[in-house]
Amino acid sequence: MFETINPAPEDSILGLTVAFQKDSNPNKINLGVGVYKDGNGQTPVLATVKEAEERLLRSEATKSYLPIDGLAAYAALSQQIVFGSGHDILAAGRAATVQTPGGTGALRVAADFVRRISPQATVWLSDPTWPNHPNVFASAALQVQTYPYFEAETNSVAFDRMMAALETIPTGDVLLLHACCHNPTGADLSPQQWQAVAAVCAERGVLPLLDFAYQGFGDGLDEDATGVRFVAEQCRELLVAGSYSKNFGLYNERVGALTLVAANSEVAEAAHSHLKICVRTNYSNPPAHGGQIVAEILGDPDLRQRWEAELADMRNRINDMRHLFVETLDELGAGRDFSFIAQQRGMFSFSGLTPEQVQALRERHSVYVVGSGRINVAGMTEANVERLCSAIVDVLK
Ligand code: LMR
């Protein structure tokens, strides 16, 4: 059975990490995978995470299974961080959450759930989007289509074209939206644009699925939830796929959450029972450790406050690097306006580099960038930005 198999291509993002690790150049720079690095180029464990782990190590009494949908406290805290505590949706019992292995796990459970209840639904993805999005939905046997999102000429959201496309999405289809820190472009919708998108979803009966992997990396925890909360105001049903990989730095613990909002608590409960079947048939029940860390931190006012400060440090460092990158490119004579990068949010921006320039960066300078030209700003440091910008200026010539 296996002898006819041809090798599959490397993953366009995680495959880059493999190539980066093999590169022996001591000055190599990785702007590929979406992992935060501090000013020393490290991805350390947050101090609040360490503290929560110490507490857990002392108090943990069993390694028995979690329920299919995970820790109840984690689910409740995840809902509060997305919608704000005391939100009407939570008070009315309209939300149900399952703890998932990372944000990708949340997306896959969402995909399996949609396929289960509405197999004919098409999932609409922004063009461009995270390269794994189409694969996740296609693997769940759903149809995938795209809507225009980005204007390369202006480096901003192609809002008119996006809206024109959304007006044609059939009722019952699913619209995937990046809640903040759009991956790969870094170009987000304004609050007014979110209102308009939410209104189209409500009018057309399209199910919004918000990928919320970067909460807190844009402008702040609540600020970044603006889009989700506008959508929740106008749409009776929605799905939110969240991740704590980035904002808690818990990448390898695989900590995510899929939250479903329904018109009332009875519908939410019925839908929740189907989410649990999707989980049970996929990975049975989630791993405990990461979820316990998040619940420990979010549930303790002191730890939570200190975690928010750590998150703000990460966010501020990225935003500072955005400015330094633009200034340094200018000083080194890039001869092109990169100022849009300072306006964008989250880890990523589309640099506008062509696939040939991306390849030249890697071959000539050991600088690793995703083939689409997406750069991870969080991989820049004060120590590497000058070398990085000289390399970019070189390949732009
Ligand atoms: C990314 O886009 O780099 C991250 O979301 C990591 C991943 O899994 O691709």
Please state the atom number of ligand 1 nearest to the C-alpha of residue 213: 5
Pocket test for ligand 1, best of 13, 182, 217, 246 (most atoms within 8 A of CB): 13
Are the CB atoms for 197 and 148 separated by under 8 Å?
no
C-alpha 37: how far from chain center? 16
**Residue nearest (by alpha carbon) to ligand 1 atom 2:** 34
Residue whose C-alpha is closest to residue 178's, from 114, 242, 94:
242
**Residue nearest (by alpha carbon) to ligand 1 atom 5:** 34
Q: How far apart are CA 66 and CA 69, in angstroms?
A: 8
Q: How far is the CA of 251 from the centre of ligand 1 (A)?
A: 10
Q: How far is the CA of 106 from the centre of ligand 1 (A)?
A: 14
Please state the atom number of ligand 1 nearest to the C-alpha of residue 104: 8
47-75 tens-digit pLDDT: 999 999 999 999 999 999 999 999 999 99
Q: Which residues does ligand 1 sit against, CB inside 6 Å?
A: 13, 33-34, 130, 132, 183
Q: How far is the CA of 369 from the centre of ligand 1 (A)?
A: 13
Ramachandran class of 35: left when φ > 0, alpha when ψ lies in -120 to 50, beta otherwise: beta
Q: How far is the CA of 302 from the centre of ligand 1 (A)?
A: 30
Q: Are strands 174-178 and 122-127 parallel, antiparallel or unpaired?
A: parallel
Are the CB atoms for 202 and 234 separated by under 8 Å?
yes
342-384 tens-digit pLDDT: 999 999 999 989 999 999 999 999 999 998 999 999 999 999 9
DSSP codes, 57-115? HHH----PPPPTT--HHHHHHHHHHHH-TT-HHHHTT-EEEEEESHHHHHHHHHHHHHH
Active site residues: 130, 211, 246
Q: How far is the CA of 146 from the centre of ligand 1 (A)?
A: 19
Are the CB atoms for 382 and 37 separated by under 8 Å?
no
Pocket test for ligand 1, best of 33, 251, 368 (most atoms within 8 A of CB): 33
pLDDT for res 101: 98
pLDDT for res 10: 87
**Residue nearest (by alpha carbon) to ligand 1 atom 1:** 34
Q: CA 364 → CA 13, 118, 335, 360, distances in Å? A: 20, 49, 20, 6
Q: Flag whether the pTM goes above 0.85.
A: yes
Q: How far apart are CA 36 and CA 232, in angstroms?
A: 29
pLDDT in tens, the chain (397 residues): 999 999 998 888 999 999 999 999 999 999 999 999 999 999 999 999 999 999 999 999 999 999 999 999 999 999 999 999 999 999 999 999 999 999 999 999 999 999 999 999 999 999 999 999 999 999 999 999 999 999 999 999 999 999 999 999 999 999 999 999 999 999 999 999 999 999 999 999 999 999 999 999 999 999 999 999 999 999 999 999 999 999 999 999 999 999 999 999 999 999 999 999 999 999 999 999 999 999 999 999 999 999 999 999 999 999 999 999 999 999 999 989 999 999 999 999 999 899 999 999 999 999 999 989 999 999 999 999 999 999 999 999 8
**Residue nearest (by alpha carbon) to ligand 1 atom 4:** 34
